[in-house]
Structure 1
Amino acid sequence: MRYDLPYARPGQVIGLLGGSFDPAHEGHVHITKMALKRFDLDRVWWLVSPGNPLKSKGPAAMDKRLAHARAIMDHPRVVITDLESHTKTRYTAATLDAVKALYPGVTFVWLMGADNLAQFHLWQDWQGIMATTPVGVIARPGTRGAARNSVAAQTFDYAKLPARASRLLGRRGAPSWCFINVPMSDASSSEIRANGEWGGA
């Protein structure tokens, strides 16, 4: 099962939340709603990935993950998409290049939890991502300190937008990133799988 590419028009600011969503859970829903509000986004797209290059074991089948994500994230300004299956990209840097080529005139903001910022320097072409794409970082339980002291945070300290100005993130160009603290949900895909609440393929 494959879906048409999401619609976007020039001038819009769209947040991209990538991941395996294996499975999607209330934590994803929570940070998505916070991102829409705090970063003043027109839309958020969930990019359900074919697989995470940093994980050795593959996720559940794409159709299953898409269906579950759509069931749990029912919001008029959120789109669940397997866009990376269309672009044939596995790494964020390549995905962003492909998406920007598909949607000229649209501003994309990369969204991630603070836990991802803590190890962002391990991502392929992470400096290129930070230099060309606004990044919104949403704090998750137990990750604030490691994220704030991370290689990426220190390297791009000069481009950090104060949390009080978070609504400007997608409108001031790149490099630009913003770290926001939000009321937390500690839901975890790995814990859901470990508890046997989510089957395999």
Structure 2
Amino acid sequence: MRSGLPVALPGMRIGLLGGSFDPAHEGHVNITEAALQRFRLDRVWWLVTPGNPLKAHGPAPLRERIARAQKLLVDPHVVVTDIEARLQTRMTADTISALKHLYPGVHFVWLMGSDNLVQFHHWDRWREIADMVPIGVLARPGTRLAARNAVAAQVLRRWRLPVEKAGLLADSPTPAWVQVNLPMSKLSSTALRRAKGERR
């Protein structure tokens, strides 16, 4: 059943960008637009999570975070979703597994910043994630080198695509991943929350 879920047709290439988006900001928009272009995606879905298991404190209410994210976006190829709340999944591996079952024939790509690749080996069933979908890594300030030397990067190094083949990522057999460098944005949700608190 896909009630309330985004529409996708077999053969489409869809990037999945998960996170708390607390709050969403132009940095998220920038990496999304870059992913659409560099990985030749038809759509990017923002998976606004009900809560991040790796974070000690809960985020702002889900509806508030989704509303803010929608205000930021003007590109019709980007869809803000509450998929994890609807599917009642908390772990990325479970979400991806459910989406692959609900959307047979769709080519999903998991998107992450290089800062997330550094800690990817701490994620629940991270090897299973890499076996289910190709992974597109987008460089973030200060973590390009750390990401290259990350535990997950070393374990998966034989399946890394050269940058010039980034456009083939969505159609590549798994495991497959690529890291692309982007113009740097130092915006982060943490910094924005801190600044908002300081203004108060």
TM-score band w.r.t. shorter chain: over 0.9
Question: One-letter code of the match for 1:50?
Answer: P
Q: What corresponds to 1:181 in structure 2?
A: 181
Pairing 1:107–2:107 present = yes
Q: What corresponds to 1:49 in structure 2?
A: 49
State the secondary structure of the residue aligned to 1:119.
helix
Paired with 1:139 and 1:185, the residues of 2 have a C-alpha distance of: 10
Q: What corresponds to 2:65 in structure 1?
A: 65
Paired with 1:91 and 1:146, the residues of 2 have a C-alpha distance of: 24
Kindly provide the CA deviation profile for residues 37-75 of structure 1, in whole angstroms up to 9, marking residues without a partner as x. Answer: 000001000000000000111100111100000000221
The RMSD of aligned alpha carbons is 1.4
Aligned-pair identity (%): 56
Paired with 1:26 and 1:50, the residues of 2 have a C-alpha distance of: 21
Post-superposition offset of 1:31: 0.1
Paired with 1:153 and 1:176, the residues of 2 have a C-alpha distance of: 11
Pairing 1:13–2:13 present = yes
Is the 8 Å Cα contact of residues 23 and 198 (structure 1) preserved in structure 2?
no
State the secondary structure of the residue aligned to 2:64.
helix
Query: Where does 1:25-36 land on structure 2 (aligned, <5 Å)?
Result: 25-36=25-36
Q: TM-score, normalised by structure 2?
A: 0.96
Pairing 1:152–2:155 present = no
Query: Where does 1:66-105 land on structure 2 (aligned, <5 Å)?
Result: 66-105=66-105
Is the 8 Å Cα contact of residues 135 and 177 (structure 1) preserved in structure 2?
yes
Q: Which runs of 5+ in 1 are unaligned?
A: none
Is the 8 Å Cα contact of residues 14 and 42 (structure 1) preserved in structure 2?
yes
Query: Where does 1:135-146 land on structure 2 (aligned, <5 Å)?
Result: 135-146=135-146
Is the 8 Å Cα contact of residues 137 and 180 (structure 1) preserved in structure 2?
yes
Is the 8 Å Cα contact of residues 34 and 182 (structure 1) preserved in structure 2?
yes
Is the 8 Å Cα contact of residues 19 and 47 (structure 2) preserved in structure 1?
yes
Question: One-letter code of the match for 1:4?
Answer: G
